Chains A and B, each alone.
Chain A
Amino acid sequence: MATDTRVLAAEFQYLEAHSTGEVLTWLAEYGTRAKILAGGTDLLVRMKTGQMKPEYVIYIKKVAGLDYIQADEAGLRIGAATSLMDVEGHAAVKTGYSALYEAIRSMAATAIRNMGTIAGNLVNASPAADTAPPLLVYDAVLQLELQDGVRWVPVDEFFLGPGKTCLAPEELLTEISIPPQDPGNGSSFLKLGRVAIDIAKINVAVSLQRSGRDCTSCRIAFGSVAPRPIRIQEAEAVLTGKRMSNELVEAAAQAGAAAIKPISDNRSTREYRLKVSRVILGEALRAAWQRAGGVL
């Protein structure tokens, strides 16, 4: 075959970084010829299947200070090399960021979650990336570092298309930060796959704010229905500032379904994605509302 997944028949120089500075120096020097290796669960797959042929592989799991989760009144900050399993296992994530917790739990094998990172999931820029919709609805900000600078990019501006992000070849995604969630916030994530281990046919995250019986704000994001994970403002607008009801949830779900333009691929069809987008959005909204303390 054109591939042999039994081996990694690639030629590259292996660079083991011990500081962020080292990584940035190498990135500045090698640019597109270099790839960052953290968990390897995406990069090695792409190298084996011939989709990526880096000349330099920069290993960042030995970098001190990229593997952390900090949860405080300023929100949640996750170092780029933190494993998905560590994020999932963090008490603050489980209690305060339900959508992110559920998204990670839905992902791949436990072994993959022990290896892979959120940063990897984002940089990979799959339209179906499970961590993307939660980070979109939490208004997460990504810290992108250059050798001589740093910039902060809202996750909504990060994805450009399948496999494409605004990350420059010289830049390293070093931190994912999520603003604190106010009391009265509820969030949820839902996904449909072919079996329990799968890339999403479709996934959705919701984060909303409850004040009494009103939904004061709401953010909705879908994955696997567009070239990139997307916010659905049409559906958000239906709920924002409104008295919550089953009818309203249904209207928002309809609006969400009307706003997406999925395609057919190996995992599912355009028609199916359109139909179930309404169902899973409705369910995700109900779950988030309940978590926010609301009753329907």
Chain B
Amino acid sequence: MESQWLKLRVNGKERQLFVRPNALLLNVLRDELGLMGAKYGCGLGECAACTVLVNGRNMLACLILAVTMEGAEITTVEGMGDYDRLHPLQQSFLDNGAVQCGFCTPGMLLTAQALLEKNPDPSEEEIRDYLRGNLCRCTGYAAIVQAVKEVKHPA
């Protein structure tokens, strides 16, 4: 099983990596690129803590072979915004008390961003439905749903 070169864009920057075929995108992002925003939660696609955007679509980095991402555009939560220019969703999460332990937050934010790309003004039901695969054990989801509903100037 030989490592191979992989070229992709991560948060707008071109990256070249030398990875083994069994390397998971999640571990490559975290261990090779130091992007710790995507989290390991279950490893089986059941919790969505590892959500990233692949070409704008929310996907689960724990079930993606990094080698398959050749040429892809990956967005992690680090690519959404920064402390001095927060993404409106990030701001809304803060304003609505949607963050407790914060471990599900990156995945929630990216999934919500993918939803808003498709549907800029979703109803509460649509938000709940789109986020239903993202588990959160702290908040009971209300503040998160509220934050997505009340986001100002969606991206």
Q: Hey, which bits of chain A sit against chain B, CB under 8 A? A: 5-14, 16, 37, 40-41, 44-45, 48-49, 57, 59, 61, 85, 105, 108-112, 114-115, 196-197
Contacts and interface: CB of A to CB of B under 8 A. Distances in A.
Contacts of B60: 41, 109, 111-112, 115
Given A14-B67, A37-B68, A5 B44 contact: yes
B36 interface: no
B9 to A, nearest CB: 17
B90 interface: no
A115 B59 contact: yes
B65 A37 contact: yes
B130 A110 contact: yes
Interface of B: 1, 4, 21-24, 27, 40, 42-46, 48, 51, 54, 57-60, 62-65, 67-68, 70, 111, 114-115, 129-134
Contacts, number: 97
Contact of B65 (A13, A14, A114): A14
A10 B129 CA distance: 34
Contacts of B57: 85, 114
A41 B62 CA distance: 10
B44 A108 contact: no
Contact of B45 (A6, A37, A109): A109
B132 A109 contact: yes
Contacts of B133: 108-112, 197
A7 B27 contact: yes
A197 to B, nearest CB: 5
Contact of B63 (A9, A41, A57, A59): A41
7 contacts: A5-B43, A8-B22, A8-B23, A45-B45, A110-B130, A111-B133, A112-B60
Contacts of A9: 22
A197 B24 contact: no
Nearest to B54: A114
Contacts of B43: 5-6, 48
A210 to B, nearest CB: 30
B29 to A, nearest CB: 14
A45 B115 CA distance: 25
Nearest to A89: B118
